Structure formats: structure tokens, C-alpha cells
Amino acid sequence: LSNSLSFLSIMVRKFVVGGNWKMNGDKATIDGIVGFLNAGAPYNNVEVIVSPPAPYLLYAKEKLNEGVLVAAQNCYKVAKGAFTGEQSPAMLKDIGLKWVIIGHSERRHVFGESDSLTAEKTQHAIAEGLSVIFCVGEKLEEREAGHTKDVNFRQLQALVDLKVDWSKVVIAYEPVWAIGTGKVASPAQADEVHKWIREFLAQKASPEVAEQTRIIYGGSVTADNCVELGKLGDIDGFLVGGASLKPDFVKIINARN
Ligand code: PGA
């Protein structure tokens, strides 16, 4: 029974693979990335979402096959105003985007964004009609101190408190110690946290939300480790940084195919 249940869950939750380009690329390198992404399209049974730096969102969107969606890497919590350097969900929608990444560990830890700001931004983006890749994850010292569950739950609780529409959220579990380090979480480590997050959703939202919400893994995902991770029933895709800039990204997109 549990095997057929996990098969059913896989059917309910479409696999989704995001490419987070971070602050990398110029027009020439983006042309190269667009080239291999378009060559690999159409992608079946998987949603593909790439996230260029803000100045290139429209440039990339106009060149990509329409089956490859584009997400911004960040947005602010209000529609407009005196917030120099920020961009609003309304603006992202205006240029035809449907997705935004919020709460990436670099936003949290390099730019000091709090749990509450991250949640408010998510709430506003959803209210404006965007879907959100909402990132959570513990730092190495938090894992070593036995706080992995608490930290991930605390980051998610901020969203629960604002009663967001979970059908607009993809949760990305990205342990900070695995991001950009080449130190991928083991399948067992990732699986454990994904299961905790699903239980958390069942308790704090509803069993349906837990069943339907996609929880993707990020942190040193490569063409070499994606197949094993992608076999796990509670891993519904990936958020990929470094490897999303290279042609191997197409193999990661197809990890489950
Ligand atoms: P990485 O980054 O794949 O380069 O580890 C993942 C991320 O930051 O989303």
C-alpha cells in the first residue's frame, strides 16, 4: 500500500526543476544557456523554471521556448513606491512572469532578510497572482547542534502565520551547508527533512496541502546525483544553482524521465 501511495503522490505532484542563475551571466552566456534549454524542449512531465538576474529577465524570457518558465530571484512586499533597488510582483507580472524565488539562503544570510519579511513578501507575491519558490534550510552549525527540524519549521511557520495559499507555493529545502559547496545532502538526509516538512504541512495546513505541495531539494545538485535523489517519493524536483548554467542541466531536468 505505501508503495502505491507514494506512486500516487508522484502523480499528484508534477516534478519541477528550477535553475537559479544567481548573479551570473551576460547576454552572450545567456544565449548559450537558452540554446541548450531550447534544444532539450519540450520537457514532458516536468515543469522547468529558470531564474536569470533581474536585468536579463525579459531578455531570457523572450528567447526561451515557451515551455521553459522564468522566475525572478526576489521581489518586495508592496506594489510600488520609494524602495530604491527593489522590484514588485506587479512589475514581474507586467512583463509576463508567473514565478518568483523568495527566501533564498543568500537573501536570508547575505542580505539579512528575516523570516517575517520573507513571509510577507511571499504573501504579497501570491496576492498579486504569482507563484513562489519558497526556500528554507539550516546552516551547518544549526544541523550540528541538532536544530535542523526547528530551523526549517520556524522558517515555514512564518508562512503558516500569514495563512498563505499553499497551492501557489513550491517549498525548496536547501541546506545552507550544501549550497555551492559540492557537498550534496545524502538521499537519506534530504528524505528525512522532506518528510518532516510534509508532516508539518499536514499538521499546520491540512493533509491535502501536505499531499499536493511540491517540496524540492537544492544544494549541489548535479547530473551525477540527481537520479538517486529524484527517485525519492518526497522529493518533487530540484532547485539548481551552479549546474543550471551548464548543458548538464538538461539531464537534471530529466532526472525522473
Ligand atoms: P548550488 O545552488 O546548486 O550551486 O549548490 C543551489 C541554490 O542556491 O539554489
Which of 20, 21, 23, 136 maximizes ligand 1 atoms within 8 Å of its Cβ, making it the mutation to test the pocket?
Answer: 20
Give 81 Cα–ligand 1 centroid separation in angstroms: 32
Q: How far is CA 162 from the centre of its chain?
A: 20
Atom 9 of ligand 1, residue of closest alpha carbon: 241
176 CA → ligand 1 middle, Å? 9
Does 1 score more than 50 pLDDT? no
Q: What angle do CA 69, 85, 88 make, to 5 degrees?
A: 45
Could you count the other beta carbons within 10 Å of the beta carbon of residue 18?
26
Does 59 have pLDDT greater than 70?
yes
Residue 127: pLDDT band (50, 70, 90) is very high
CB 247 within 8 A of CB 226: no
Q: Using alpha carbons, select from 15, 22, 17 the residue that is nearest to residue 179.
A: 22
Please tell me if the CB atom of residue 109 comes closer than 6 angstroms to any atom of ligand 1. Answer: no
Q: Is 179 in the pocket of ligand 1 (CB under 6 A)?
A: yes
DSSP code at position 248:
T
Residue 104 designated active-site:
yes
Q: State the average pLDDT over residues 33-42.
A: 98
> Does residue 9 carry a pLDDT above 70?
no
Residue 242 pLDDT greater than 90, yes or no:
yes
Q: Is the CB of 175 under 6 A from ligand 1?
A: no
Q: What percent of the chain has pLDDT over 90?
A: 95
Question: Is any ligand 1 atom within 6 A of the Cβ of residue 101?
Answer: no
For the record, the C-alpha cell of 5 comes out as 501511495
> Is pLDDT above 70 for 10?
no
Å from CA of 110 to ligand 1 middle: 14
Mean pLDDT of 228-233: 97
- Residues 42-57 have pLDDT tens digits of 999 999 999 999 999 9
> Is ligand 1 within 6 A of the CB of residue 71?
no
Catalytically annotated residue among 47, 104, 113, 138? 104
- Give nearest CA residue, ligand 1 atom 7: 241
Confidence of residue 197 (pLDDT cuts 50, 70, 90): very high
Average model confidence (pLDDT) across the chain: 96
pLDDT in tens, 162-192: 999 999 999 999 999 999 999 999 999 999 9
What whole-number distance in Å separates Cα of residue 115 and Cα of residue 112?
A: 10
106 is catalytic: no
133 Cβ closer than 6 Å to some ligand 1 atom: no
Give bridge partners of residue 102 from the DSSP assignment: 134
- Outline where 14-147 has alpha helix (H): 27-40, 57-63, 89-94, 105-109, 115-127, 140-144
pLDDT confidence band for 138 (50 / 70 / 90):
very high
- Our answer on whether the CB atom of 47 is closer than 6 Å to any ligand 1 atom is no
pLDDT tens readout for residues 68-90: 999 999 999 999 999 999 999 99
Residue 8 has pLDDT above 80, yes or no: no
Answer yes or no: is pLDDT of 241 > 80. yes
How do 215-218 and 237-240 pair as beta strands?
parallel
DSSP 179-245: TTSS-PPPHHHHHHHHHHHHHHHHHHT-HHHHHH--EEEESS--TTTHHHHHTSTT--EEEESGGGG
Handedness of CA 217, 221, 223, 224 (dihedral sign): negative
Distance from the Cα of residue 147 to its chain's centroid:
22
Question: What residue type is 152 in one-letter code?
Answer: N
| Chain position carrying cell 509576463 | 96
Query: 153 by DSSP, 3-state: which?
Result: helix
Q: How far is the CA of 115 from the centre of ligand 1 (A)?
A: 20
Ligand 1 centroid – CA 82 distance (Å): 31
- Check if 180 has its Cβ closer than 6 Å to any atom of ligand 1: yes
Per-residue confidence band for 3, with pLDDT thresholds at 50, 70 and 90 = low
